[in-house]
Amino acid sequence: GENVEQHPSTLSVQEGDSAVIKCTYSDSASNYFPWYKQELGKRPQLIIDIRSNVGEKKDQRIAVTLNKTAKHFSLHITETQPEDSAVYFCAASPTGTASKLTFGTGTRLQVTL
């Protein structure tokens, strides 16, 4: 089955700096890669996603890049703000109607003033 590894497990940046979180996946059949943000005690919420036919996607301060050959994808957050502090999860899902998400282990991002 799919295995998703995520690094780093914790990340502390100063407000205004950039943050990068990296994930690798094992199953070449995976073709959908979402990123979820989870605040303490809350539900995971999708912040951006990318499909395997796209190499990069951007939404304001957030961008995701995908390297299918190397089986890795990354989340980039620019101009970080205190409200970006949360746990971020990458995930991978295969094609087809059995679209279970395999999650990485999460990155706790702390944005300090």
Chain residues binding other proteins by CB under 8 A are: 31-32, 34, 36, 42-46, 49, 51, 89, 91, 93-106
Minimum CB distance to other proteins smaller for 33 or for 77:
33
> For residues 100 and 103, what is the distance between their CA atoms, to the nearest angstrom?
10
Beta carbon of residue 93, minimum distance to other proteins (angstroms, whole number): 4
Rg value, the chain, Cα: 14
Q: How far is the CB of 14 from other proteins (least distance, A)?
A: 27
Separation between Cα atoms, residue 91 and residue 28, nearest integer Å = 14
Tokens 């089955």 belong to which residue?
1
Write down the least CB distance from residue 108 to other proteins, Å: 12
Name the residue nearer to other proteins (CB basis): 31 or 80.
31
Return d(Cα 76, Cα 37) in angstroms, integer.
13
Q: How far apart are CA 40 and CA 6, in angstroms?
A: 19
Q: Which is nearer to other proteins, 73 or 89 (CB)?
A: 89
